[in-house]
């Protein structure tokens, strides 16, 4: 009997690969396979080639006696949000079965209308249930090939990035992923030996740096911006929109029918990145920008903090102690990618990925691209011919506009194979 079941599963997997179906159905716990279009052995967040539906079919089949896979703080946050959603007083459908084309209803936890991919609030089975009706393959859908092409254009357009001589990096000791929870300082010296601070006088760098001190890092304390601080947000958006990087991004999204005007695009960027929501007990204590670029402290841990400029400046002030890294990207020039462990003024970051040497507009563009095109999913890109992916999460407890989601987090993930 077991032999027959194994044969049937093998045949099903073979059919899936032959048809290039990007699914983990019947493939959970399968070892890495070079012939498959995507993988299902994703026990670490650094694998860029996982199937899009890995999390649902595989995690529900987990043996409860097995240890849970390592979760980044951002993923722990997602668990908290899901628990909060499950505790709501109503019980609404969480499937698109029989709901394709149904109009938006704010009382439902997920949706099945034509615009749910845009807002990142589709039910998990949306494509399976509604894809045949043209939703998931509409003229507005952004393909992975298109994402890789535009990310290469953005990569080439980043003329404000650091040159090789602008940064001397001392990455020192690498550790295995299993050692990240040990909290041992394996690197006695700072990460940055030298940074050419003339970079910081460039308009986008200067505007970006002005934003970093506008936040209280502890969640649970509401943010209250002065008129000057609000103006600094507008200045940053104005300056980045002058760059070739953001012009490439807007042109691409305009061509994809996501935005009709540049002003509409800028307004949406301001809302999704700078709009306030509550991660703690205080209304309006966090935002996507604060979390991703400036960093936060929640429940005694560092969350977010994915920016090299912020890291360098805090390290220079003696507030960041670099411990080690588990991933150093293959790029021989900047921007590069480093996944590292560090202590931020008494609080530990178990795994924090960051671009190194990129301009502020470059990171802002790629994170925005992935949040718009693949909200809440892994977004596969290409930089200088190398594969790279960005993971985003949507904030599901509050919305802006007509049900649009704020950015909860965005960070780089990459293959360790």
Q: Which residues are catalytic?
A: 291, 306, 349
Tokens of 392: 């985003």
DSSP letter, residue 407: E
| CA gap 319, 102 in Å, rounded | 52
Which residue from 227, 223, 210 is spatially nearest to 277, judged by alpha carbons? 223
Longest Cα–Cα distance in the chain:
72
CA distance 91 to 96: 15
130, two tokens: 């509604």
Dist CA 387 CA 381 (whole Å): 6
Residue 336 CA to residue 333 CA, distance in Å, equals: 7
Which CA distances in Å does 337 have to 46, 106, 395? 12, 39, 25
Opening angle at CA 377, ends 29 and 36, nearest 5: 40
For the chain, count helices (H), then strands (E).
13, 10
Interatomic CA distance for residues 84 and 324, integer angstroms: 34
């Amino acid at each position: 009997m077991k032999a027959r079941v194994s044969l049937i599963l093998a045949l099903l997997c073979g059919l899936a690969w032959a048809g290039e179906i990007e699914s983990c159905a019947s493939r959970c716990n399968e070892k890495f396979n070079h012939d498959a279009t995507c993988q299902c052995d994703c026990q670490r967040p650094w694998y860029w080639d996982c199937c899009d539906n890995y999390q649902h079919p595989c995690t529900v089949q987990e043996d409860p006696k097995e240890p849970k896979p390592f979760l980044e703080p951002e993923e722990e946050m997602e668990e908290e949000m899901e628990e909060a959603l499950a505790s709501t007083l109503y019980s609404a459908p969480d499937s698109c079965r029989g709901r394709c084309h149904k109009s938006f209803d704010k009382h439902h936890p997920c949706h099945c209308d034509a615009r749910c991919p845009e807002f990142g609030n589709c039910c998990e089975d949306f494509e399976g249930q509604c894809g045949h009706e043209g939703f998931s393959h509409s003229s507005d859908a952004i393909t992975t090939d298109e994402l890789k092409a535009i990310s290469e254009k953005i990569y080439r357009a980043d003329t404000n990035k650091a040159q090789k001589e602008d940064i001397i990096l001392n990455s020192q000791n690498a550790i295995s992923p299993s050692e990240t929870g040990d909290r041992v300082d394996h690197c006695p010296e700072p990460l940055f030996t030298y940074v050419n601070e003339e970079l910081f006088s460039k308009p986008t760098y200067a505007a970006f740096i002005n934003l970093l001190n506008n936040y209280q890092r502890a969640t649970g304390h509401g943010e209250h911006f002065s008129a000057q601080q609000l103006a600094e947000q507008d200045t940053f958006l104005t300056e980045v929109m002058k760059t070739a990087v953001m012009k490439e991004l807007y042109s691409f999204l305009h061509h994809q029918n996501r935005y009709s005007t540049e002003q509409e695009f800028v307004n949406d960027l301001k809302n999704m990145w700078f709009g306030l929501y509550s991660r703690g007990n205080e209304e309006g204590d966090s935002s996507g920008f604060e979390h991703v670029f400036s960093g936060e402290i929640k429940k005694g841990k560092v969350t977010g903090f994915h920016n090299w400029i912020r890291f360098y400046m805090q390290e220079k002030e003696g507030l960041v102690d670099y411990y080690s890294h588990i991933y150093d990207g293959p790029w021989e020039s900047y921007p590069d990618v480093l996944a590292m462990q560090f202590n931020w003024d008494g609080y530990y970051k178990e795994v924090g990925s960051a671009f190194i040497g990129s301009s502020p507009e470059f990171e802002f563009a790629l994170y925005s691209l992935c949040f718009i095109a693949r909200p809440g999913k892994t977004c596969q890109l290409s930089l200088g011919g190398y594969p790279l992916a960005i993971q985003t999460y949507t904030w599901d407890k509050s919305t802006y506009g007509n049900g649009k989601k704020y950015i909860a987090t965005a960070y780089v993930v990459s293959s360790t194979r």
